[in-house]
Structure 1
Amino acid sequence: MIDEQISIFDMFKIGIGPSSSHTLGPWRAAQRFTERLITGGLLDKTESVKILLYGSLAKTGIGHGTDVAVLLGLSGADPVTIAIDEVPQRVSRIKQQQHMPLGGIHHIPFHYADDLLFLYTESLPYHPNAVTFQALLSDGRAISETYYSIGGGFVVQEGDDGGGHGHRDLPFPVRTANDLLVWCMNTGLKVSELVLENEQAWRAEEATIAGIRAIFATMRDCMYRGCHTMGMLPGGLQVARRAYKLNKKLIADRHYTDYHSWVAAIRAGGDHFQYTLDWVSCFALAVNEENASFGRVVTAPTNGAAGVIPAVLQYYIVFHDGLQEEKIIRFIATASEIGSIFKKGATISAAMGGCQAEIGVSSAMAAGALTESLGGSQRQVLMAAEIAMEHHLGLTCDPIGGLVQVPCIERNTMGAIKAITAAQLALQSNPDKAKVSLDAVIKTMWETAQDMNVKYKETADGGLAVNIPLSLPEC
């Protein structure tokens, strides 16, 4: 188990799709390497750069936009602030002009085919998602650094301990679900309240609230945009967007002009089961169609699973009157703590654990958050998270064409529905009678990940990725 301290803003990061491990992580790694050159006074001396992609980053890098990410990271762009429309233009310019604006200011020759290498048959031992940056300097020296994108946008440089933050004295340190439960029982705090207390070890409360507002705003805007954008997804699979048509069908002739009036229009349609179910699917589809289109999303805890938590949160907002800032903040805080326990005890990387590590974890996070939001006890929160993961154990990652589209987008709808079902089961159950604890299911998930054949871990070498011809439409 990793001994690390994880903040809300580690579990939820604003970035660009389609993959947190293959896009956001390599992008951040490229930025870190460039910063190393700048702070070391080496940027102006750099004559050329080579990028080596290993393992899963090589095998599914094109479909996941890894090449796009490292080029933009090296050229000084930031995934939080770059205009989405500029992404293809900047990459095309680098390829066509055969020059890289390293750090955004120092131009060097760069030949895409020769300087960005996909090492399909090579992997490094620490983690399947590895990238090495090599810089040749004018004085003849060479600088080389290797980074590992370990899931959810987390990046570890070779030789680092992976701890991330400098150590803080958290009032309520948590490594396991049992730790969390003990603190909650001893203090009477809800999970969200305990999380927000811990966050104050990193920053002032006002800064935490502002950060969560930004997280929610990104989720909200991504979902709204996805529900109002039609067309085909990029990548060649010819997958049509579905959220636009589903939103239009469900909203019928009710008028709205923005997010808030959209929520009111959805509520006006009632709350019967089929209607609610269709909307949850629509919410999840919208986010992951945006993710597949290099849109701005929030890792929750990954990009491939970015639609589950926003969909369940939107379900709570629309159908349980959750459109209040305090309620949204507590939902996100609770979800982050569940996710952090999974990362410490297992993994949130599909390249390490298959899709159980992404959709499974996001479903558990959403289930726990919804349970607290609907009045569940701390034990019921953990029970809901356990139920959600228990029914994702062994889920493989087998993206067709290496794209985060089929079956990834639909899996977000399934993860969202399972989260809601898990929350309802927990709310109607006595956790004292539960046979499986959250810690037990996390341990089982990690053991399952270690036993899983590597071809089912985000390589596109097994499962649907090899059994579905690329010319077939999504069914």
Structure 2
Amino acid sequence: MAISLFDMLKIGIGPSSSHTVGPMQAAHLFVEGLCKAGHLTEVTRIDIQMYGSLGATGRGHGTGPAVMLGLEGHRPDSIDPAMLNPRLDDIRTQGELCLHGEHAIAFAEATDLTYHRKESLPYHPNGMMFTAFGADGEVIRQRTYYSVGGGFVVDEEAAGADRIVEDTTPLPYPFKSGVDLLNQCRASGLSIAGVMMANEQSWRSETEIREGILHIWQVMQECVQNGIKNEGILPGGLKVRRRAAKLYASLMDINRQDMISPSLSAMDWVNLYALAVNEENANGGRMVTAPTNGAAGIIPAVLHYYWNWCPNASEEGVVDFLLTAAAIGILFKENASISGAEVGCQGEVGSACAMAAAGLAAVTGGTPEQVENAAEIGMEHHLGLTCDPIGGLVQVPCIERNAVGAIKAINAAVMALRGDGEHFVSLDKVIRTMRDTGRDMLDKYKETSRGGLAVNVIEC
């Protein structure tokens, strides 16, 4: 399957790519299918069933609201986060959904949207089923979708206009593994970013690619700024206090004398960038899935580190950083998973750390071999990381985990750049190990909130 940078780095809303962005996209696809088949005005009721991790933690991840707004025709990349709560209040107060913004039906969230906490569908832990009924109770349309991580959605049905098909676009430099990617670089003389840029031109022009990447960078910057200026308590009931604004004020206080050294001062700022993004994500703000919402703070934090702290930083470097990061993300997507519900948080924070480490190594002079080494170091030291969000919310330990992951990414890049690219464990072997570890991991540690901190903190 051909995967683009713009598949790996999507603009969306918080708090979860698999539990918010994916379900909203699935709901949008479902109602689009009704429109294309000419059945929209025949619908009198919609039934929604959430399974697996969506059923277990969907309430805390905003899955229900995302689905309702998706059925009304909204998409995660274009919806205004400011209208979310007001519109949801209207739906709940009036007991009515407006399908595709055109056709109103009665809707009661308590009875028309069901969370199956302990039941799963066969293909993936993040399964959901939509059924549209007519006036006589007949089924007009039924579809099952899977949100497979990073906002990717697949439809299990073999037929239907809304089926998601694999992109078979031929690429000039195809790669399925780290070895393939390095071989393409050696044979072509291109960097990893150069290989990705050539492949991206199979879908759009170089100008469009650069503009699109810089728009992603702009959204990342805006997310950090929003996270810095917003204060208060995050929603969901845990009463987690936002820290980014206070930390920013502290770092901007020129009278403070507790910065141990310039390098550690930079790490304070990296922590700030990551916290700001993930607090915005937890609050349902606009951000970039990189490659998921739960790990969305790592790449922006490291990219801000490059922009603000590395000599000769430039927009060209930003483009190369994100092209390189996307190439590494594709390897994880193709050969393992980026879904916390499938392989635990190693697939989210671990993948993001590897992507960020590779991007930073690339734009600070690393060879393709050193870049691959940086990605391997970043992932290797996240192996076995569980996904155990307290209360099913993308807050604890998720927010701090991004800050720690960003620091690890910088260190991984530094270590790789100090070497010559040769190393004992390859990136491919680490990805394979992550996949196998996730397969062996108990389900209670994979975004179900039935193990780890999710139960131990509450019990204490």
* Alignment TM-score, normalising by the size of structure 1: 0.93
Q: Report if the CA contact (8 A) 1:20-1:152 is conserved.
A: yes
Matches of 1:177 and 1:159 in 2, distance apart? 32
Q: CA deviation at 1:184?
A: 0.3
Residue among 354, 368, 374 paired with 1:384: 374
State the partner residue of 2:58: 61
Percent identity between the two aligned chains: 51
Q: Which residue of 2 aligns with 1:33?
A: 30
- 2:141 pairs, out of 140, 143, 162, with 143
2 CA distance for matches of 1:159 and 1:435?
43
CA contact (8 A) 1:316 1:322 kept: no
Q: What one-letter code is carried by the residue in structure 1 that aligns with 2:449?
A: A
Report if the CA contact (8 A) 2:389-2:396 is conserved. yes
Q: CA deviation at 1:271?
A: 6.9
In 2, Cα distance between equivalents of 1:447 and 1:40: 42
State the partner residue of 1:393: 383
Instruction: Give the aligned partner of residue 39 of structure 2.
Output: 42
For residue 156 of structure 2, what is the aligned residue in structure 1?
158
- Following superposition, the deviation at residue 217 of structure 1 comes to 0.9
SS of the residue corresponding to residue 341 of structure 1 reads helix
1:107 maps to 2:104: yes
> Does the CA-based 8 Å contact 1:5-1:163 persist in structure 2?
no
**Whole-Å separation in 2 of the counterparts to 1:65 and 1:327:** 35
For residues 231-290 of structure 1, give each alpha carbon's deviation from its aligned partner in whole angstroms, at most 9, with x where no partner exists.
111111111111101111101259xxxxxxxxxxxxxx9971221111110000000000
Gap regions ≥5 residues in structure 1:
255-268
RMSD: 1.7
Matched residue SS, 1:233: coil
Number of matched pairs: 453
The range that moved more, 121-130 or 140-149, is 140-149
Q: Which residue of 2 is the match for residue 12 of structure 1?
A: 9
Residues 431-471 of structure 1: per-residue CA shift (max 9 Å, x gap) = 22x1100001011110101000110000000000001128x
Match of residue 210 from structure 1: 211
Distance (whole Å) between structure 2 residues aligned to residue 160 and residue 143 of structure 1: 14
Aligned-partner Cα distance in 2 for 1:343–1:77: 26
1:180-195 equivalence runs, <5 A: 180-195=181-196
Q: Residues 271 and 227 of structure 1: is their aligned pair in 2 closer, same or farther, counting only changes over 3 Å?
A: farther
Q: What is the identity, as a one-letter code, of the residue corresponding to 1:328?
A: V
Residue ranges of structure 2 left out of the alignment (5+ in a row): none
Are 2:454 and 1:457 aligned? no
Deviation at 1:338, TM superposition (A): 0.2
CA contact (8 A) 1:322 1:328 kept: no
The partner residue of 1:288 within 278, 287, 304 is 278
Q: Specify the code of the residue in structure 1 equivalent to 2:324.
A: T
Aligned counterparts of 1:277 and 1:191: Cα–Cα separation in 2: 27
> Any residues of structure 2 matched to 1:247-396 within 5 Å, and which?
247-253=248-254, 272-321=262-311, 323-396=313-386
Which residue identity does 2:189 align to in structure 1?
Answer: G
In the superposition, relative to structure 1, how do residues 337 and 239 fare at CA in structure 2: closer, same or farther (>3 Å)? Answer: same
Q: Distance in 2 between matches of 1:208 and 1:138?
A: 47
Match of 2:67 in 1: 70
- Distance in 1 (alpha carbons) for counterparts of 2:194 and 2:359: 12
How far apart in 2 are the matches of 1:213 and 1:37?
Answer: 35
TM-fit CA distance, 1:430: 2.4
Match of 1:419 in 2: 409
SS in 2 for 1:85: helix
Q: Which amino acid aligns with 1:146?
A: T
SS, match of residue 218 in structure 1? helix
2:403 matches 1:405? no
For 2:425, the aligned partner's letter is: V
Tell me by how many angstroms 1:224 deviates: 1.1
Q: Give the whole-Å Cα distance in 2 for the aligned partners of 1:320 and 1:165.
A: 39
Q: Say whether the 8 Å CA contact 1:271–1:319 is kept in structure 2.
A: no
Determine if contact 2:178/2:372 at 8 Å carries over to the other structure: yes
Letter in 2 for 1:354: G
**Partner Cα distance (2:165, 2:333) in 1:** 13
Corresponding residue for 1:133? Answer: 130
What's the offset of the Cα at 1:175?
0.5
Instruction: Decide which moves more: 198-207 or 132-141.
Output: 132-141
> CA shift at 1:424, angstroms?
0.5
CA contact (8 A) 2:2 2:170 kept: no
Q: How does 1:210-249 map to 2 (within 5 A)?
A: 210-249=211-250
Q: Work out the CA distance in 1 between the residues paired with 2:164 and 2:260.
A: 47
Moved more, 359-368 or 162-171: 162-171
**Offset of 1:159 from its aligned partner?**
3.1
Give the match for residue 257 of structure 1: none
Query: What code does the residue aligned with 1:396 have?
Result: T
1:98 aligns with 2:95: yes
Aligned mates of 2:325, 2:4 — CA distance in 1: 11
What's the offset of the Cα at 1:309? Answer: 0.2
Which amino acid is the alignment partner of residue 104 of structure 2? H
Q: Is the aligned partner of 1:440 residue 2:429?
A: yes
Q: CA–CA distance in 1 between the matches of 2:167 and 2:375? A: 29
CA contact (8 A) 1:49 1:110 kept: yes
CA deviation profile, 1:103-154 (whole Å, cap 9, x unmatched): 1110001011110111112110100101100000246343110000000000
* Residues 322/290 of structure 1: CA separation in 2 closer, same or farther (3 Å cut): farther
Equivalent residue letter for 2:39: L
| One-letter amino acid of the structure 2 residue matched with residue 436 of structure 1 | V
